[in-house]
Amino acid sequence: MSTPVIAFFNNKGGVGKTSLVYHVAWMLAEQQYRVVAADLDPQGNLSAAFLDEDRLEELWPENQHPKTIYGAVRPLRTGVGDVVPPHVETIFDGLDLIPGDMALSQFEDPLSEVWPKCLDSDERAFRITSAFWRVLQQGAAKENAHVILVDLGPNLGAINRAALIASDYVVIPLGPDLFSLQGLRNLGPTLREWRQGWSERISKNPVDELPLPSGKMQPLGYIVMQHSVRRDRPVKAYDKWIARVPSTYRECVLGEEDNQENLPLVANDPHCLALMKHYRSLMPMAQEVRKPMFRLTSADGAIGAHTSSVQDSYNDFRRLALSIMSHARISRREGVAGIAR
């Protein structure tokens, strides 16, 4: 049995994706889930959110970077072996990180090259394409995790294709703007294409004992990050974009026929996991002390009006985290760890 993998992804950047992964991972740990967060974005922003620069410098020495996601897949890139067990960095009780690495961008070309070779039952092609999934499963098995949360970069390249093939579920963060809607229009067909492409390839695996991901990548729902809020409602300039999200999500991501009748508002849409505030006043404080916004205290500068915002952020992220786990049907009793060679 493998550990479920949830990827947070939109090929439109600037929608708060990394912050969402960071805060949801912390909140799930607070709710007694065992979580492994994995940084599969070569920019390494999730790792920088969890770890200070001194620790990152230790993880990113000048040469091989053995304690990062790149170090775990590097033998495949250099042609000297298969994946190696990943280093898993303990952040908090129940929360661990597979650190990212800017060097991971070097894995883009091998992933691109081997994709067509899977159709020819090429063993190395399958080992490279499934590398992320096998590394994630090894890391989760080490920590007996209930769930793996994955942060990805905003593009439709080969790294993200392999990462999404490794994912059971996909959460799509959005901003209430034209660019996010266009991102949905690009993302939906691409997910279906990659899912179908992997389905055609997986049956051609030449090595029976090589475990492979199912490539399920089921859309779990979307999260709308509000640009601005006035009296707990989005400002009018963004209303028209928010109103278009339910129909665009259904048509482009779920592949349903365009039917504008009886569509719910975002706040009532069962596919909407949350309508989240940005908490702009809390974010600088949280980044300064390297902790989630909902764990800020008066010692961190969260005083006066900030105190109620901290509590609001706790409630919002708790609802979001539990909604994600409910939609994915993951309970604390189920999570466990698969073996991936």
pLDDT digits (tens, 9 = 90+) for 185-215: 999 999 999 999 999 999 999 999 999 999 9
208 within domain boundaries: yes
335 within domain boundaries: no
290 within domain boundaries: yes
pLDDT given for residue 338 in this prediction: 37
For the chain, give the mean pLDDT.
Answer: 90
129 within domain boundaries: yes
Domain of residue 187: give its range: 5-328
Q: Long-range contacts for 85-89 (Cβ within 8 Å, ≥24 apart)?
A: 85/138, 85/139, 85/142, 86/135, 86/138, 86/139, 87/59, 88/36, 88/139, 88/142, 88/143, 89/50, 89/51, 89/59
Reported pTM: 0.93
pLDDT tens, position by position, 38-70: 999 999 999 999 999 999 999 988 777 899 999
In 10 A of CB 119, how many CB atoms?
Answer: 12
Supply the CATH number for residue 299's domain: 3.40.50.300
67 within domain boundaries: yes
Per-residue pLDDT tens digits of the chain, which is 341 residues long: 799 999 999 887 777 899 999 999 999 999 999 999 999 999 999 999 999 999 999 998 877 789 999 999 999 999 889 999 999 999 999 999 999 999 999 999 999 999 999 999 999 999 999 999 999 999 999 999 999 999 999 999 999 999 999 999 999 999 888 888 888 999 999 999 999 999 999 999 999 999 999 999 999 999 998 755 545 554 666 778 888 899 999 999 999 876 667 788 888 999 999 999 888 889 889 989 999 999 999 999 989 888 999 999 999 999 999 999 999 999 876 544 333 43
108 within domain boundaries: yes
Q: Could you give the number of structural domains in the chain?
A: 1
Maximum Cα–Cα distance across the chain? 64
319 within domain boundaries: yes
333 within domain boundaries: no
96: helix, strand or coil: strand
